[in-house]
Amino acid sequence: MKKKEPFVLSYINALLYRLMIVMIMFMLCRILFYLYNRTLFPGLHFKDTLHIIQGGLVFDTAAMFYFNAFFIVLSLLPLPFIDRKWYQSILKWVFITFNSIAILTNCIDFIYYRFTLKRTTRTIFQEFSHETNKAGLGKDFIIDYWHVILLFVCLVMFMIWLYNRVEVRPSDRKHWWFYPLTLVALLVSATLAVGGIRGGFKHSTRPITLSNAGEYVQRPEHISLVLNTPFSIVRTWTNTGLQLEKYYSDTEVEKIYTPLHAGISNSAKSFQKKNVVIIILESWGKEAIGGYNHDLDKGTYKGYTPFFDSLMRHSMVFTNSFATGRKSIDAIPSLLGSIPNGQEPFVLTPYVVDSIHSLPNLLEKEGYDISFFHGAPNGSMGFMALTKLLGINQYYGKTEYNNDKDYDGIWGIWDEPFFQFFANKLSTFKQPFCSTIFSVSSHHPFIVPDKYKNVFLKGPIPVLECIGYTDMALRKFFETASKTDWFKNTIFVISADHATETFHPEYKTAWGQVAIPLIIYQPGDESFKGISDRIFQQIDVMPTVLRLINYPKPFLAYGKDVFNPEALNFAVSYGGGYRWIQDDYLLFFDGNSSKGLYNYKTDRLFRQNLITAMPDRVSEMEKNLKAFIQQYNNRLIRNQLTYPNK
């Protein structure tokens, strides 16, 4: 039989064809991945499949550029010998080598996924780094799963066969346009690569991460079908990852600190299915609010939030309230999932696809209607994907608002109209509901709508005028909400995502860097108000809300029920080192040893380091912090973010 001759294409068309081969191979790997693990993906419908394929193409494109960047550059360099057989042979083996590695990682997850329930990341190298019998483990894998090895070989052979179907036309380099065209193609390829790796060309788009896979699924367990393993490994390659900590034995650490919360044993306290509304205010540092700062400027400070100040008089106010980090992506897992910010934001770690039982997830199982509102373009900052991971399927963004006249041109819909949209939409939901809104207007470049220019106090930093505008939007929201039938059956938690730039020295300390407002307002219970000096952090919202509604089942949360006087009174954050706040003190811990201890109530400017004067206090706080770190690291690594047997 006569050997079939390859097609002859220009070098640019040949490159496009070869990159298409990669996309075909990645999609074949996804199909095989599903077939090997189909019992682990229940509830998969045809519509879900279409969304998964759509998302898969996005992640495959990113992985294709990651693994073929070197090949693309070599294919487009304006070299006079680009069509020579010896050079094309080099290109072929570069292509085969890099993409065979990518296919191999996918094949490994055909089997390994069933043990970890998440796509393999760079941590696989850490997990097996201390194994002394790597050769034996590899041999056992080959023997037990020979069919996967055979599939891998077949996939690589098929890829090579496809590659050989095309050759580069030798005459292109002889034309005068060869060199300028090659340079243009190289620039276009670089632009497309940036878009492919970022997942788009929007202003607010950042390089996609594992969490963005949540945009394409209705069930968190389907996320791994959207991802591919080569992407997961590359995207987490620069992450330091976490290491199992062994400060204490598993038994000892549970006695010092545990994230496990038992169910309510008192049967007299029935489950009260109140609505839950969580309001997250962009960049609202505590400094902006007069009600928290009666001592500033010799008692003359008024702040920039008159409505919030008035609401504090009808709410439970916590004078020691803190964020877990300094980024918006830190706040949502903390507020809705009681997951703290470690050395890296949780959403950027390899563990973001671990199983999570968040507040929305738990309440949805009890019949709650769950939703999330963010006026930015859908997908901005990865919020749409992140909320899917937390079990939220109803997302309302700029697309759902559907009126670009109220778009600020940069970040999203102005807070005033979007908060009204939020209030009106809540009235259409079946009670009980749990809904969250994240404001957008108090953000750089710090502008307000034209009709409100020179209306709000400007202050010494530009964000304060925007905070004043959002405060007005908040007032109008409550004016609208107060006229509804659901208002008095609702628990409102009002907080911020993080603090921002400050101007008083009291807020330029490690305490001030994470100091944010955090109040709870129950309009149906006039007695529920007052001032508490208990430490209240974002991770405390979930367990506190669950106790307020007498949630009867056990759950896992890294925070505490702030109304439980027996709970450890602490807050934790990371910023170049751990900051552990307990009672009246803040401890600096670099991961190995304590570096500073300050009484943040009596020493607002952190001038007196008490580390040598109070060794017992340091020892106690360091013990609690180490137990917290151990529980956080080890449970993330082991995928133990849910209550056992739940």
**Residue 130: predicted pLDDT:** 42
- Name the strand (E) or helix (H) holding 91: helix 85-116
Lowest mean pLDDT of 3-12, 15-24, 593-602, name the range.
Answer: 3-12
3-state secondary structure of 559: coil
Residue 85 has pLDDT above 60, yes or no: yes
User: What residues pair up with 571 in beta bridges, in sequence order?
Assistant: 581
Measure the CA angle with vertex 337, ends 331 and 340; round to 5°: 55
Question: Do 162 and 48 have their domain in common?
Answer: yes
DSSP conformation letters of 496-543: ES------SGGGSSTTGGGB--EEEE-TT-TT--EEEEEEEEGGGHHH
- First-to-last CA distance in the chain? 63
Per-residue pLDDT reduced to its tens digit, 398-426: 999 999 999 998 889 999 999 999 999 99
pLDDT band, very low/low/confident/very high, at 132 (cuts 50, 70, 90): very low
Taking 60 as the threshold, does the pLDDT of residue 525 lie above it? yes
Has residue 235 got a pLDDT over 90? Answer: no
The two structure tokens encoding residue 98: 């890099």
The whole-angstrom separation of Cα 165 and Cα 181 is 24
- Cβ pair 457, 472 in contact under 8 A: no
Predicted confidence (pLDDT) at residue 539 exceeds the cutoff of 90: yes
Do 444 and 393 reside in the same domain of the chain? Answer: yes
The pair of structure tokens assigned to 206 is 């950042």
Residue 356, domain member (yes or no)? yes
Q: Which helix or strand (DSSP H or E) is residue 373 part of?
A: strand 369-374
Read off the pLDDT of each residue in 525-548 and give the average, rounded to a whole number.
Answer: 96
Give 472-487 pLDDT, tens digit per residue.
Answer: 999 999 999 999 999 9
Is residue 597 in a domain? no
| 287 and 224 co-located in one domain | no
389, with CB counted inside 10 A (0-12, 13-18, 19+), is buried
Confidence of residue 129 (pLDDT cuts 50, 70, 90): very low
Q: Is 246 exposed, middle or buried (0-12, 13-18, 19+ CB in 10 A)?
A: exposed
Mean pLDDT across 439-444: 90
The owner of tokens 């919202």 is 541
Q: How many CB atoms lie within 10 A of CB 250?
A: 10
Same-domain check for residues 105 and 229: yes
Question: Do 223 and 281 belong together in one domain?
Answer: no
- pLDDT at residue 120, as a whole number: 81
Dmax (CA) for the chain in angstroms is 96
Contact present, 61 and 198 (Cβ < 8 Å): no
Q: How far apart are CA 137 and CA 124, in angstroms?
A: 14
**CA–CA separation, 25 vs 100, rounded Å?**
10
- Residue 96: how many other CB atoms lie within 10 Å: 15
Asked if the structure places residue 568 within a domain, the reply is: no
**C-alpha span between 314 and 292 (Å, rounded):** 14
Sheet strands (E) in 87-195: 166-168
Supply angle C-alpha 99, 100, 106, rounded to 5. 90
Could you tell me which residues are beta bridge partners of residue 434? 276, 370
Q: Phi and psi (nearest 5°) for 25?
A: -65, -40
**Count of Cβ atoms closer than 10 Å to residue 243 Cβ:** 11
276 or 70: which leads in pLDDT: 276
Count of all residues that appear for the chain in the document: 646
pLDDT at 540 over 80: yes
Q: Which two tokens stand for residue 536?
A: 């209240």
My answer on whether 22 and 150 are in the same domain is yes
Q: Tell me the three state secondary structure of residue 585.
A: strand
Q: Look at residues 538, 563, 588 and tell me which one is the last residue of a structural domain.
A: 563
Q: What number is the average pLDDT over the span 103-112?
A: 91
The answer to whether position 428 is within a domain reads: yes
CATH of the domain at 401: 3.40.720.10
Residue 48 pLDDT: 82
CA triple 159-165-167, angle to 5 deg: 115
Look at residue 134 in the predicted model and tell me its pLDDT.
54
In the prediction, which pLDDT does 190 show?
A: 67
- Ranking 111-120, 271-280, 626-635 by mean pLDDT, the lowest is 111-120
* pLDDT at residue 356, as a whole number: 82
In a domain, 495, yes or no: yes
Q: Is the pLDDT of residue 239 over 50?
A: yes
Question: Do 24 and 110 share a structural domain?
Answer: yes
**With contact defined as beta carbons under 8 Å apart, do 280 and 436 qualify?**
yes
pLDDT in tens, 252-261: 999 999 999 9
Read off φ and ψ for residue 520, nearest 5 degrees.
Answer: -125, 130
Q: Which residues contact 373 (CB under 8 A, 6 or more apart)?
A: 396, 397, 418, 421, 422, 425, 435, 436, 437, 438
**Do 347 and 495 share a domain, yes or no?**
yes
**What is the mean pLDDT of the segment spanning 586-605?**
89
Q: Which residue has the tokens 């009867």?
A: 552
Q: What is the pTM of this model?
A: 0.75
388/513 same-domain check: yes
**453 and 512 fall within a common domain:** yes
Residue 251 domain-assigned (yes or no): no
- Segment 623-634 shows an average pLDDT of 96
Residue 81 falls within a domain, yes or no? yes
Q: What is the pLDDT of residue 646?
A: 47
- Judge if 407 and 501 occupy the same domain: yes
Closest-CA residue to 308 (of 328, 285, 331):
285
Q: Apex CA 455: angle with CA 449 and CA 459, to 5°? A: 100
- Can you tell me the distance from the alpha carbon of 411 to that of 443, in angstroms, rounded to the nearest whole number? 8
Are residues 347 and 428 located together in one domain of the fold? yes
Instruction: Report the range of poorest mean pLDDT among 35-49, 116-130, 143-157.
Output: 116-130
Domain count, the chain: 2
Say yes or no to pLDDT of 589 above 60.
yes
pLDDT in tens, 37-51: 887 777 678 888 898
Q: What is the mean pLDDT of residues 206-234?
A: 79
User: pLDDT (tens digit, 9 = 90+) per residue, 169-214?
Assistant: 776 555 655 666 666 766 776 666 666 656 555 544 567 777 788 7
DSSP character string of 590-615: -SSSEEEEEETTT-TT-----TTT-H
The reported pLDDT for the residue numbered 168 is 79
Q: What value does the mean pLDDT of the chain take?
A: 87
Q: How far apart are CA 385 and CA 399, in angstroms?
A: 15
109 is written with which tokens? 């997850």
- pLDDT the model gives residue 593: 81
The alpha carbons of the chain give a radius of gyration, in whole angstroms, of: 28
Question: Which backbone phi and psi does 252 adopt, to 5 degrees?
Answer: -65, -40
Parent domain of 385: 276-563
Say if 641 falls within a structural domain.
no
At residue 567, what are phi and psi to the nearest 5 degrees?
-75, 145
Choose one of 518, 540, 563: the last residue of a domain: 563
Which of 511, 545, 563 is where one domain is finished? 563
Q: What is the pLDDT of residue 407?
A: 93
